Structure 1
Amino acid sequence: MHRVNNVDRIQQTSGKMIPIQPFLYANAREENSSAYLENSCKTEYNETTRQTLSILSNEELLPVRMTEASVYYSAAFRLDESNVCAEALEAILFDSLEGELILAEYQQNNFLCSTTQQKLTDVLLSRSAKSMTVAKHVQNYFVKLTNAIVKLMPNEDPNVYYVPPQSNGNDSKNPKGKLPDKWRNLTYQLRIRGILPRKKLKDKPTSSNDIPKTHTLKDDVDIHLKSLQVLREPLSQVILHWDATFDYRKLIRSTINSLDDVLIEWPILKTDIGPQLIESEFEKLFQYDDDLFGKWISFFNALYEIKKASIRDSIGKEYCNIFESLRNETPEVSSGIQIQLLPYLIPPITKIKTGSGIIVKPTICESSEGFVIYCKTSESIAQKVEFRSDRYKNWNVAVQPCIVLQGPQPHDIKSAYVSLHQQLWELDSPIRALDLAFKLYQVFNLHYPADCEQLWLVVQKIVYNITTPFDKKLTNVTSIANVLNVKLKCKKQRRN
């Protein structure tokens, strides 16, 4: 039986069978057209794999007859670790307009931009078999899927799509890349909708004298979780369900490190009551004396005295001059320029290893935008937030929360927000925006962005006096924190 090894799609029109050249070998087949047509028409078909599709051509829906090798074009076809190959990927991409645009971009540019790489990931995982949600299968599947992508598009960097998990004694790292990130988000959604079972909670050991319970803690958690998926009011009921799932959030706190995961698991945070829920959670997790403005003023003034002489950047010097002119203003007025000045007082030192293996050292400007985005107009906020997200995606790191300040001048801030990607929480002052962004990081144990990691760690240790087992030990952070603590202690003693 003649088998078409490289998936050939055949369009029937005007009584003839016309082959549509596949992407992989579009330039390789130069054989005589009539001979090729004759061979195509002699193809035998297996009854179990014969099927009919429709494709759009000349504004009409025309039937397409599938060869046995063309089973990849079946709408029921699903990728798994046993059948994933470049030909299957090609067929799946040709089967949708989105996929054809992806192929067209690669043919035209010989590479895919970050946004299109994400679209490719979305298309392929949407056609993956449900069996691939099993942990023992999925890592091998990602390896094969990445290899197939590179075979189909040789210029694509495999590390963009998948970096295997690493284990070094007690230090282990989860797999990285667009495939595991998207798959993790997708399985979260499937669990939320009840399509996949939720991860089991570890039950506490019970004694033989305990009375058997038919209604478990997990049952209670599921009830509240489902309520939080749909309930938005009254506020008292939302808070009741939120408080009831506190222990569950503590349990999974170490497994969620990205904002995307948080928003998928807890969509209630996208609403106007999100900030109130974060405040409530933070109060339960940490014993914090809420003298925020007093602590902030002491912290910033001490840091400014220590580090202002080291600023070399022209923007940083300009911000210093603005701050000097606002020294006598209230924190509500001066905190906007103070927050924008922080990345210049604590510049980045961390180097980032991208998915392609390239080492990147963020600039002070990039560090500043990782921490706080300044926009002159409200219309420019979405564009600047997207620009920041694209840079993080190009670095292959998670996009985390940041502060957004809007006003006609850096010192004249009219609106303050916390950015959750496409969602904004509005606060009444810049310092409140910093406060809420910090609390969001702590409540869900989110990783600080690498380009402003040491900045957030200094704020955490000095303003909030919080140390956690998850903190990265950075020599520069320890040094700055020690100097600040000594200076603040001396000032306190002089006041007393």
Structure 2
Amino acid sequence: MDKLTEFIEENSLDPVCLLNLIDCGYTYENLQFIENDDLNFIFPNREDTALRSEFRAKLFEWKAKNKKNLQTLNQPKSVPTQNVEANMQSGPNVCKSAVDILQSTSCGKKIIELYNSIHVLSEENRRKIVHLISENFYNPQNNTYASVKLAEIEKLANEIVNIFPSEKIEIYFIGRKAAKRSSPGGILFNRLHNHFKKRKMSPKTVVSEPETAVFVASSEIVDCVQKLKFYVGTEDDSMELWTATHEFRKNFISNPDNNFAEVISQFPLFKQATGFKFLEHDFNKLHPNRQFGLTTKWEDTVPKLMSYYNIYLKDNFYKKLFKSLDDSVCPSSKDCILFMCLHAVIKPSHRFTVTHGNVKSFRKATIEDSVCSTVLQVSEVNDLQNHLEQLNNKNVESNTPIQPFVIVVGTELTNLTEFYVSFGEHLYKFSSFVLALDICFKVYQVFGLKYPNESHKVWSFLQEFMYNISTPFDIKHSNVVNVIEDLQKM
């Protein structure tokens, strides 16, 4: 019996622990180097949470008891053979290629063999690849990781894509320019950055917009704008005036001195029950030939989402909600539930500060926060005001404004009856959830509003996957790229 097996049996651990350790390339000598971050890769599945906690407690207890003896253990086999001084320097002569790193471990070889057979890389194997590469830079003698230049990380990401052609580099590395923030992104960069802690990340990105020519409206256009404020004619005639004033309205909305309420006051047709038709007109001007993106693509995407959720949906609540879908559920309720489950596979990463008196605490947005920033369920429309007040209090706490969102009416999510879009103090009513979601997205686009921090990733997914829209100010998210890549293969 080898020492690793003895360790598992002496601590009465589940045999799954042994299999996972071997699969990740660990030996008995490597155990002393396992930290909290590594446990997420050894036990990547949500159902292994209890097992992960038990293993962590017994591992750290063992490390504490054997602290002196651990200093004399042999170096891990997976540690690079370069000398320590060279290993702590960053440069192309130090950084191994991705293929060399993967081929040097049994776990890496298995991943390559499996990919060559099925030509698809699972989320779990992506994590293992990132883990194996990051461990290549570990130096056991001083318990530190070597720093790695961005060019080397990008090179490794490109090599991963060369090994696994169906992958996209944005999953592993997104440069500063593409990420639209002070720090790059991608799962490989994030993993290495968490180890190295080379510098503090900027809390938010400031994007400078390109200079635009000054717009000067003619007297005729100004007259048309005034007519629209009090117009009582036919819809066709009002749409003619609306089209004529598009450039004026576009510049008025983009002016930072004009807030949302002032835009609505200047163009009150937005407030009408049919105001979404004028909204769609402006959206089509802003993004030509993109206005039917969601409504035409959603039906074909539903079976793909259902297949994807069967594999990757791990959250217990939304997994149960997804399993509740059967023939008795009406189409709009089904669409709403599928959209809500999307938040559980494209999870939020936003963090914010909450202040209570003189005490500050840091919080991370949850799946529920992400869902609640896009969809509000009420039993009946009369309950809406109370829910809006609660939502407002919560947003005051996190110091974020209430953005447009979809309201669904029904005592159960599986039996929804009405659908609205809320923006400001105004409501649009629709016959289906997809139509409401479509207009809600267009409100963000036409009024130039920022997506809520909690659900930014999900709105970005809709923008890119459903509408095929890209702008110079988009923020790339590696897990959004990942989900889009997987859905496109289905």
Give the TM-score of the pair, scaled to structure 2: 0.51
Match of 1:390 among 388, 393, 404: 393
Stretch moving more, 454-463 or 256-265: 256-265
1:366-401 Cα offsets, whole Å, 9 max, x none, are 211101011122221222123223322332223211
> 2: CA distance between counterparts of 1:172 and 1:341?
34
> 2: CA distance between counterparts of 1:391 and 1:258?
22
2:320 equivalent in structure 1: 318
- Conservation of the 8 A alpha-carbon contact between 1:405 and 1:415: yes
Query: Displacement of 1:337 after TM fit?
Result: 2.4
> 2: CA distance between counterparts of 1:361 and 1:251?
36
Name the SS of the counterpart of 1:426 in structure 2: strand
1:277 equivalent in structure 2: 278
1:400 aligns with 2:436: no
Match of 2:300 among 276, 298, 301: 298
> 2: CA distance between counterparts of 1:330 and 1:412?
7
In structure 2, the CA distance between the partners of 1:341 and 1:394, relative to structure 1 (3 Å rule), is: same
Query: Displacement of 1:278 after TM fit?
Result: 1.0
Unaligned stretches of 5+ residues in structure 2: 1-201
> 1: CA distance between counterparts of 2:366 and 2:259?
23
Partner amino acid, structure 1, of 2:322: C
RMSD: 3.3
Query: Displacement of 1:347 after TM fit?
Result: 2.3
In structure 2, the CA distance between the partners of 1:318 and 1:385, relative to structure 1 (3 Å rule), is: farther
> 1: CA distance between counterparts of 2:255 and 2:373?
23
Partner amino acid, structure 2, of 1:322: S
1:159 equivalent in structure 2: none
Stretch moving more, 470-479 or 445-454: 470-479
In structure 2, the CA distance between the partners of 1:276 and 1:340, relative to structure 1 (3 Å rule), is: same
- Conservation of the 8 A alpha-carbon contact between 2:254 and 2:448: yes
> 1: CA distance between counterparts of 2:261 and 2:401?
8
> 2: CA distance between counterparts of 1:255 and 1:390?
29
Unaligned stretches of 5+ residues in structure 1: 1-165, 174-199, 204-215, 488-496
Name the SS of the counterpart of 1:431 in structure 2: helix
Query: Displacement of 1:403 after TM fit?
Result: 0.5
Query: Displacement of 1:292 after TM fit?
Result: 4.2
2:158 equivalent in structure 1: none
Partner amino acid, structure 2, of 1:409: E
1:171 aligns with 2:207: yes
1:419 aligns with 2:422: yes
Number of paired residues?
282
> 2: CA distance between counterparts of 1:239 and 1:224?
11
Q: Which has the higher contact order (CA 8 A, sep 6+)?
A: 2
Greater gyration radius: 1
2:3 equivalent in structure 1: none
Q: In percent, how many aligned pairs have the same letter?
A: 24
> 2: CA distance between counterparts of 1:269 and 1:321?
39
> 2: CA distance between counterparts of 1:260 and 1:389?
17
In structure 2, the CA distance between the partners of 1:421 and 1:383, relative to structure 1 (3 Å rule), is: farther
Query: Displacement of 1:428 after TM fit?
Result: 0.7
- Conservation of the 8 A alpha-carbon contact between 2:350 and 2:454: yes
1:401-448 Cα offsets, whole Å, 9 max, x none, are 100000121011110000123321100111110011111111222111
1:381 equivalent in structure 2: 384
In structure 2, the CA distance between the partners of 1:469 and 1:354, relative to structure 1 (3 Å rule), is: farther
Name the SS of the counterpart of 2:393 in structure 1: helix
- Conservation of the 8 A alpha-carbon contact between 1:344 and 1:364: yes
Partner amino acid, structure 2, of 1:422: E
1:444-490 Cα offsets, whole Å, 9 max, x none, are 22111111110011011111111122222222222222222233xxx
> 2: CA distance between counterparts of 1:261 and 1:239?
21
> 1: CA distance between counterparts of 2:205 and 2:440?
33
> 2: CA distance between counterparts of 1:394 and 1:333?
31
